[in-house]
Structure 1
Amino acid sequence: MSRLRFVILGSVLVMMVVVFSCSSGSGGARQFTDTPKKGRITISADESFRPIVDALVQVYESNNDSTKINVQYKPESECVADLFNDSIRMVISTVKLSDEQLQSVVDSLHLVVKQLPVARDAVAVIVNPSSRDTLLSMEEIKMILTGTYTKPLKPVLDGLSATSTVRFLLDSVLKGQKMTSDAMGANTSDSVIQFVAGNPNAIGFIGVSWIGNKDDAEQLSFLKKVKIVQLESSDKPGRYVLPVQANIYTKRYPMTRDLVYILKEGHRGLGTGFAEFVAGEIGQLIFKRAYLMPGRRSFLIRPAQTKE
């Protein structure tokens, strides 16, 4: 864990203690009227995962018409801050708390807190259709992000701080190196796609769920505007791979990350029902259809050959 991430999470946990101390004297146990199949709750989710979370919520509400799940999409750091906000039942992001941090949340809020990785995602790299930079090594990705690449490619991210994509690039790719000052932050992932589509020298970094689902009409329209870069395989130098499910599952694609939910609920309510759905058969199939790798189901990958 990077120092920046440690400081952010540490600050959040301190604030949890303060908030609980101020509210614990209000008296009386809270009364809940929601159940796993009925009621209304609010959750927060990393904006990078809006397409898949929208799909999960839509199907759950369709199957349980007495439920309403309000989703607040935010940068990841704000989702982490919501861990101490007792009006938010669940947080969905790439943050996974250590056992010690998890226990601190439990001790501070006096609630049952559960976290579970439910899928594996990838950070996709996109370029303008006119670009020839469609095969890149991780060393070249680092050079692009630090501004030392041989071509003037401008990195475009879903924000310049606080998002899961930015944190992943800083922690897992740059590993302490400073990102170029030429890097540009867009407000949302679809804004990254639109900017790259209109600028030949731009290179974008987004969650694969925004462009991986070829059954989604909007994502198909995105793929007509940009190209997905193939990155050098983590297991075979000189081989380049796309962020497709098999490569995400095996981590052959070098930029993968887990999608995790953190549930805070003192009773068996709607948050529990939604969490069980996300980790269950239907939820996992939704991840599969969105071209993420389901995290709670086992899959067998068999080699196949095609005849020309």
Structure 2
Amino acid sequence: MKRTVFFAFIIGFVLLGCKQDPEEQTILKGHARIIVDEEVFPIVEDAYWVFKTQYPAELTLDSLPESESVNALLSGKAEIAVLTRKLTKKEEGKFRSEGIQPRITPFAKDAVVFLTNVASRDTVINLSDVISFLRGESSPIKKLVFENPNSGSVRLLDSLAGLNKSPKKNVYSLDSHESVLKYIAENENVIAVTALNPILQPYEKWEPYMKKVKVMGVRNVKSAKKDDTYYKPNQTNLALGTYPLIRTLYLLNYQGKAGLGTGFASYLAGQDGQRIVLKSGLLPERTPSRIINIRKEINTTK
């Protein structure tokens, strides 16, 4: 009798252990938190809302500057992030030491852009002048305004200028993208540095400012001396690589298992996700296929 009870207990324990948790995360359901670089939040938000209509998944999207997003990954506060760069080998060392293999999914091309007031005389800018300005050298640029000192845009320009940190003289940072738009809309002959994504997908409350700002054409610092072409950050120039400040958007997945990070990454890189990117004005990593149905009309008139 005792032996029968013992085996019944063991069987019940095993069955309980094998029971699926209804809230367990899979690639298409459950809940996960994703840290999103605030400079590219609109495109990720758009993709999520469409993703949500098709799958029973809940994603919490937290918008942070690039450096804070990286810190969230490294501190273990997040396992999934959308950034405009990959982690360095040193940064990834923490995960590899824990046996976690990163899953990196590129899904779009964005760009760093320069804005100015519509009334400003200048409509173009030389990237070499920006670099000289950041280095503290002689430059026709007198003032630059950034959205956030911890942004990916700042990091990219500092990298091009060979700096570890932007100079403080005549370089200003505000507290949001909206603040940058408002400042440029109200001040002439000032140049702002921001991301392309929010310019292409502005929120409705930004519309009054958007009417008073313009995106500047940029001359590539690597251009030939006789090449005076200034390129705008549109899909064509992103595809051809002629615009000088292009960057790739990545979904970085450090879950270490097949969870929602895998599912959402597959969606972003798939046909539906790439169509959302294409419609946004950014450049998709892969051109989504387009099926054209040709219907032949039969002429019955004799």
Q: Select the residue among 33, 36, 43 that pairs with 2:24.
A: 33
Q: Select the residue among 52, 63, 71 that pairs with 1:81.
A: 71
Q: Which amino acid aligns with 1:226?
A: V
The answer for the alignment partner of 1:16 in structure 2 is none
Deviation at 1:145, TM superposition (A): 3.9
The answer for the alignment partner of 2:13 in structure 1 is none
Q: What pairs up with 1:84-99 in 2 under 5 angstroms?
A: 84-98=74-88
Deviation at 1:180, TM superposition (A): 4.7
The answer for the alignment partner of 1:150 in structure 2 is 140
CA contact (8 A) 2:110 2:248 kept: yes
1:292 aligns with 2:272: no
The answer for the alignment partner of 2:162 in structure 1 is 175
Deviation at 1:279, TM superposition (A): 1.1
CA contact (8 A) 1:134 1:229 kept: yes
In structure 2, C-alpha distance between the alignment counterparts of 1:205 and 1:109, rounded to whole Å: 38
Q: Select the residue among 165, 187, 195 that pairs with 1:199.
A: 187
Deviation at 1:101, TM superposition (A): 5.1
Unaligned runs of 5+ in 1: 1-30, 300-308
State the identity as a percent. Answer: 27
The answer for the alignment partner of 1:17 in structure 2 is none
Taking structure 2 as the reference length, what is the TM-score of the superposition?
0.78
Deviation at 1:87, TM superposition (A): 4.6
The answer for the alignment partner of 1:228 in structure 2 is 215
CA contact (8 A) 1:127 1:196 kept: yes
**Residues 218 and 245 (structure 1), Cα distance of their counterparts in 2 relative to 1, 3 Å cut:** farther
**Residues 96 and 142 (structure 1), Cα distance of their counterparts in 2 relative to 1, 3 Å cut:** same
The answer for the alignment partner of 1:305 in structure 2 is none
Deviation at 1:52, TM superposition (A): 1.1
The answer for the alignment partner of 1:238 in structure 2 is 228
CA contact (8 A) 1:84 1:109 kept: no
SS of 1:275's equivalent in the other structure is helix
1:111 aligns with 2:117: no
Deviation at 1:97, TM superposition (A): 3.1
Deviation at 1:284, TM superposition (A): 1.3
Unaligned runs of 5+ in 2: 1-20, 290-302
**Residues 90 and 105 (structure 1), Cα distance of their counterparts in 2 relative to 1, 3 Å cut:** same
**Residues 145 and 101 (structure 1), Cα distance of their counterparts in 2 relative to 1, 3 Å cut:** closer
1:184 aligns with 2:172: yes
CA contact (8 A) 2:32 2:260 kept: yes
Deviation at 1:269, TM superposition (A): 1.6
Taking structure 1 as the reference length, what is the TM-score of the superposition?
0.77
In structure 2, C-alpha distance between the alignment counterparts of 1:133 and 1:42, rounded to whole Å: 43
Q: Select the residue among 23, 36, 47 that pairs with 2:38.
A: 47
Q: Which amino acid aligns with 2:162?
A: K
**Cα deviation digits, residues 215-245 of structure 1 (max 9, x gap):** x766765531201101125556211111001
The answer for the alignment partner of 1:209 in structure 2 is 197
**Cα deviation digits, residues 85-104 of structure 1 (max 9, x gap):** 445231111221356754x2
Q: Which amino acid aligns with 1:122?
A: A
In structure 2, C-alpha distance between the alignment counterparts of 1:135 and 1:93, rounded to whole Å: 28
The answer for the alignment partner of 2:262 in structure 1 is 272
Q: Which amino acid aligns with 2:271?
A: E
Aligned CA-pair RMSD: 2.6
